[in-house]
Amino acid sequence: MGYSVKIADLEKDKETIVSILERNRSRTDTDYAKRFDWIYLNNPFGRAKAWIIYNDDTGQEVGFTGVFPRPVFVNGKEYLAWNCGDFSIDKKYRALGVALKLRRAAKNDVDAGRVPFLYAHPNKRMEVVHLRVGHKKISEMRRFALPLKFDRYFKDRLPVEFLAKIVALPINSSLRLKYALKNPKNIKGQILANVECRPEHEALFEAMKKQFKVIGIRNCSFLKWKFADHPNFKYQQFDCYRGNQLIGTLFFTVKNQVVHLIDVLVNDHQADIIPLFARFINEVYKNKFAQALSFILQTNNPIIPLLKELGFKERNDATSSVIAYANEETNKQNATIVLNGANWFMTVGDRDA
């Protein structure tokens, strides 16, 4: 009985890694070979690192995990951290021991000082593994939703579609009016079919670095890679202006008439989140492409109270944990800040999916 963890050679082991992903994941919208090139080889902040675990008796690979380099600013100072992902183990080897051995590989690099800290977004089953190796749970991710139209709601509950439309009409109209009234006259916005990053977007991120103690990079290299170059998903962008000044940008994708917000850039979150979202909601109404907005955020994210003010409601259907690890003995100063979820500005965009 034995299992060995080896660092993957990303060129030679591509087929092995893609094969493990394909047999352990159920997503039908993802081409894992293309995704491998994107996330493992073409990350603008350096290649990913991966570890494969083998059954010593058979020589067969039984699982692997990866870490993706991500610059994270802690009190304005840049550190190249690791975003952990793709943890996959074949079903018949999920007796915890294999997972623990694999999970420790990245942690060992943090303890050795090769990387300052790591973070991850595991589900409940994987959270157990993180906690068992000594990582810390610092927060949770939650979904927040805002209904814009009630056609589908009534369609599911009434026998005739026409009747559903009639019942939904006054509610839809009053909602639309509510958001129209929240939209200040000097705020303008524009939906772009493709993601474009300009110096003014970089300036928004610079402003965010000053507002939040811990924040992952959102500069143009990152945004281009994350959204414009994504091999499997098509992202759009909404730019919002007060006069001629860009005050915020939203990145999103649309699926089944739901706008899935992925990330936000904002100049001053206290002053600009409500006008940014109110203007965006009006654009969504105008363009008639969605019935609802959905945004997954870390529960400590300071924009949540502002979204609730706009009518977003918390849902409990997309919960995951936020895990982080920094060595508290050798890296005490960073660890104190990074291991406190309240210090992070984190959205679903901080996962590299």
Partner 1 sequence: MDMHQQIINFLYDESLKDEFKELDYDDSLLELGIIDSVKMLDLIGFIEERFGVQVDDDDLYPENFDSINAIVNYINSKKNN
Nearer to partner 1, 99 or 146 (CB): 99
Place of tokens 């959205």: 347
Using rule CB under 8 A, residue 134 touches partner 1: no
Which of 95, 160, 181, 193 binds partner 1 (CB under 8 A)? It is 95
Stretch that binds partner 1, among 89-97, 176-184, 275-283, 326-334 (CB under 8 A): 89-97
Using rule CB under 8 A, residue 178 touches partner 1: no
Which of 5, 20, 126, 141 binds partner 1 (CB under 8 A)? It is 126
Nearer to partner 1, 100 or 171 (CB): 100
Are 241 and 189 in contact by the 8 Å Cβ rule? The answer is yes
Nearer to partner 1, 97 or 305 (CB): 97
Nearer to partner 1, 103 or 149 (CB): 103
Nearer to partner 1, 48 or 53 (CB): 53
- How many of the chain's residues bind partner 1 (CB under 8 A)? 18
Nearest approach in angstroms of CB 97 to partner 1 is: 3
Q: Cα separation of 34 and 27, whole Å?
A: 14
CA atoms within 13 A on the CB side of 338: 29
Phi-psi region of 247 (alpha: psi -120 to 50; beta: other; left: phi over 0): alpha
Using rule CB under 8 A, residue 98 touches partner 1: yes
Nearer to partner 1, 96 or 166 (CB): 96
Nearest approach in angstroms of CB 316 to partner 1 is: 18
Q: Which of 122, 113, 346, 119 is nearest to 214 (CA)?
A: 346
Stretch that binds partner 1, among 4-12, 87-95, 231-239, 342-350 (CB under 8 A): 87-95
CA atoms within 13 A on the CB side of 259: 26
How many residues are listed for the chain in this entry? Answer: 353
Which of 10, 19, 33, 94 binds partner 1 (CB under 8 A)? It is 94
In this structure, the strands spanning 136-147 and 118-120 are: unpaired
DSSP state of 40: I
Phi-psi region of 75 (alpha: psi -120 to 50; beta: other; left: phi over 0): left
Site for partner 1 in 227-246 (CB under 8 A): none
Nearest approach in angstroms of CB 53 to partner 1 is: 11
Nearer to partner 1, 25 or 234 (CB): 25
Nearest approach in angstroms of CB 122 to partner 1 is: 10
Stretch that binds partner 1, among 16-24, 30-38, 122-130, 248-256 (CB under 8 A): 122-130
Q: Virtual CA dihedral for 229, 232, 233, 239, nearest 10 degrees? A: 0
Q: Cα separation of 328 and 325, whole Å?
A: 9
Stretch that binds partner 1, among 91-99, 174-182, 208-216, 308-316 (CB under 8 A): 91-99
Phi-psi region of 102 (alpha: psi -120 to 50; beta: other; left: phi over 0): alpha
Which of 12, 92, 157, 185 binds partner 1 (CB under 8 A)? It is 92
Angstrom distances, CA of residue 171 to CA of 147, 167, 188: 11, 8, 25
Using rule CB under 8 A, residue 273 touches partner 1: no
Q: Helix-strand-coil percent breakdown of the chain, rounded to 5?
A: 40, 30, 30
Cβ atoms within 10 A of the Cβ of 163, count?
12
Using rule CB under 8 A, residue 181 touches partner 1: no
Enumerate binding residues for partner 1 (CB under 8 A).
1, 3, 91-100, 124-126, 128-129, 132
